[in-house]
Amino acid sequence: MKTHRVLIPGGYGAVGSIIASLLSKNENIIPVVAGRSKDQAKKRAEKLGCQWTTVDLEDKDSIQEALNEIDIIINCYIPSADFNTYLPEMAAEQGIHYLDVAAFNGYNERVVGLHKIAAKSGALLITALGLFPGAPGLILGGNRDYFDQVDCADIFFTSGSNMDNLTPLALQGIGYLMQVPPKKWENGKWTKPQGKARREYISKPFNKQITFYPYMVTFDLLKIPEIVKINHINMWSMSESMFLGMALVLGLKLGFAKTIKKATTFLRLLRYLGRNKNEDYSLRVISQGTRDAKKYERVVEMNAPEEHLTAIVPAIICEQIIDGDIKKVGAYTGAEVVKTRRFSDSLKNAGINYRDEIRAL
Ligand SMILES: NC(=O)c1ccc[n+]([C@@H]2O[C@H](COP(=O)([O-])OP(=O)(O)OC[C@H]3O[C@@H](n4cnc5c(N)ncnc54)[C@H](OP(=O)(O)O)[C@@H]3O)[C@@H](O)[C@H]2O)c1
């Protein structure tokens, strides 16, 4: 079988280095770790026994050089909603498959906007494949395999108290998501939630979790409503890290992560607050629906450090593309094209704490 070279810009960062490590176990894949620093790229590649190159995503010539003999790209550097899309544009034009972990509506939409160019060149572009909105989007998409009709779905993000690996970039991403105007899927269309829901975003009484109801809906989830009705999306926090969750929410609201420098200082504080605790991030999606006229509930839960939950999604999808499981060309979000049953099976074998259960109601 052909050996596939997978370029990973951001490949020695928190998310990218896990992707490189996961893919380096596949004998059909050669990860190419990339970033602006030659030393860091080389060091990481030597550790994993893979290849490396330098790339600056703000420089088209540098990107072009890095794309030499690349089959698939997994982009792990998307610092903001308005960051340039040189990389996906060049991938779309040159027939190179492209995946990313972007969690910014504006960026995701611009990637999907490259559909025609990608379809013409034979490239497949899939955006938004991180922990959010990729993982819950794919889990909801997987409901097609379990239900004739899905009535509702709740998505819970629970931050652990272990902030050791959270990076300033990831923190900025979370800050951005908190500003996305919440929407609610009701009676077949997206509506603005009424006042009550928004006022509850730090709930009273403040017991086990802070509730943002509905927290946010990003582009990927907008693709799901034809198969699921999303009632609300909750985030934070298990009792052990309740205080930390509150500090994080307030800090982000006050703009403590607006710049990388501020985010770094803020993270130091959060780590201090969360010291001696060791809880992973948790994503739980609970869907209810009907199959053969009977009601069922499906519960999917994933627990792992935050950057691991983000890395695992594009790593699995990259393997699906290489194995020929996804044959489409054009630009999409994950739930539109991914073989979700195989995605669930891969997660079960991915060495993370994963549960996918269905029970009669
Ligand atoms: N969707 C989700 O749920 C989710 C969750 C977590 C993270 N993320 C996203 O994943 C991405 C990576 O996050 P992270 O926590 O891994 O960040 P990180 O540890 O700071 O890594 C960022 C990497 O990007 C590289 N980089 C910076 N500027 C670059 C440029 N101009 N060209 C090429 N490479 C550049 C950095 O190396 P150099 O500075 O040496 O170039 C570094 O290797 C971010 O975009 C973040 O928003 C998404």
* Contact (Cβ atoms closer than 8 angstroms) between residue 5 and residue 69: yes
Residue having the nearest C-alpha atom to atom 45 of ligand 1: 78
Kindly give the number of the ligand 1 atom that is closest to the alpha carbon of 36: 41
Reported confidence tier of residue 242, pLDDT bands at 50, 70, 90: low
Is 4-130+309-342's fold the same as 135-305+349-360's? no
Cα(35) to centroid(ligand 1), Å:
9
Domain regions of the chain by residue span? 4-130+309-342, 135-305+349-360
Residue having the nearest C-alpha atom to atom 6 of ligand 1: 170
Cα(212) to centroid(ligand 1), Å:
27
More confident residue, 84 or 224: 84
* Contact (Cβ atoms closer than 8 angstroms) between residue 20 and residue 73: no
Reported confidence tier of residue 4, pLDDT bands at 50, 70, 90: very high
- pLDDT single digits (tens) 143-161: 888 888 888 787 777 776 6
Specify the 3-state DSSP secondary structure of 261: helix
| Dist CA 111 CA 118 (whole Å) | 10
Q: What is the DSSP string of 161-227?
A: S--TT--HHHHHHHHHHHHSPP-EEETTEEEPPPHHHHHTTS-SS-SS----TT----HHHHT-TTT
Q: What is the CATH topology of the domain spanning 4-130+309-342?
A: Rossmann fold (3.40.50)
Residue having the nearest C-alpha atom to atom 18 of ligand 1: 13
Residue 320 parent element (H or E): helix 306-322
- pLDDT single digits (tens) 77-110: 999 889 999 999 999 999 999 999 998 888 998 9
Prediction pTM value: 0.89
- pLDDT single digits (tens) 18-54: 999 999 999 999 999 999 999 999 999 999 999 999 9
Cα(78) to centroid(ligand 1), Å:
6
Cα(17) to centroid(ligand 1), Å:
10
Query: Would you state the pLDDT for residue 284?
Result: 85
* Contact (Cβ atoms closer than 8 angstroms) between residue 302 and residue 353: yes
Residue 207, CA distances (Å) to 156, 178, 240, 246 in order = 16, 21, 11, 11
User: Which of 91, 168, 166, 92 lies closest to 131 in space, CA to CA?
Assistant: 166
- Of 3.30.360.10, 2.40.37.10, 3.90.1150.10, 3.30.2310.20, the CATH number of 135-305+349-360 is 3.30.360.10
Name residues contacting ligand 1 (CB within 6 A).
9-10, 12-16, 35-37, 40, 55-58, 76-79, 101, 103, 130-132, 167, 169-170, 173, 307, 310
Question: Which one of 132, 157, 169, 171 would you pick to mutate in the ligand 1 pocket, going by the greatest count of ligand atoms within 8 A of its CB?
Answer: 169
